[in-house]
């Protein structure tokens, strides 16, 4: 899941964390920018990586190699939670044993 990041740069620039963003008339009516801690609270088992380094050279390479560290430092236009390692579907809903199926 990718969300807008309330990054260090945005805080310093005075951007709103939540509410009507500035910009053109075509901008959205409402925006919520997440901190890394807020996204981690929603997806506690996910890995979180900063993405969207606009104006930086080789932003894809930066995201892949340093995205995790940069998210911890509050950098990046967006952040992404991915790769949850939660219990599998089968662990949550185990298949009945053969004996239980026969008994039905």
70 burial level (CB within 10 Å; 0-12, 13-18, 19+):
buried
Q: From the centroid of its chain, how far is CA 61?
A: 18
Classify each residue of 51-61 as buried b or exposed e, where b means 16 or more C-beta atoms within 10 Å of its C-beta. bbbeeeeebee
**pLDDT beyond 50 at 102:** yes
Q: Using DSSP, state whether 90 is helix, strand or coil.
A: helix
Q: Domain segments of the chain: what residues?
A: 2-103
- Torsion angle, CA of 15/17/19/23, rounded to 10 degrees? 30
Q: Report pLDDT digits (tens) over 58-93.
A: 888 888 888 899 999 999 989 999 986 555 444 555
Mean pLDDT of 13-35: 81
């Amino acid at each position: 899941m990718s969300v807008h990041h309330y990054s260090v740069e945005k805080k310093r620039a005075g951007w709103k964390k939540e509410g009507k963003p500035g910009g053109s008339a075509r901008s959205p009516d409402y925006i919520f920018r997440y901190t890394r801690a807020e996204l981690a609270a929603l997806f506690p088992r996910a890995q979180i990586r900063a993405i969207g380094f606009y104006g930086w050279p080789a932003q894809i390479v930066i995201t892949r190699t340093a995205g995790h560290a940069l998210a911890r430092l509050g950098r990046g236009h967006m952040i992404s939670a991915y790769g949850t390692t939660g219990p599998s579907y089968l662990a949550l809903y185990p298949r009945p044993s053969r004996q239980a199926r026969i008994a039905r």
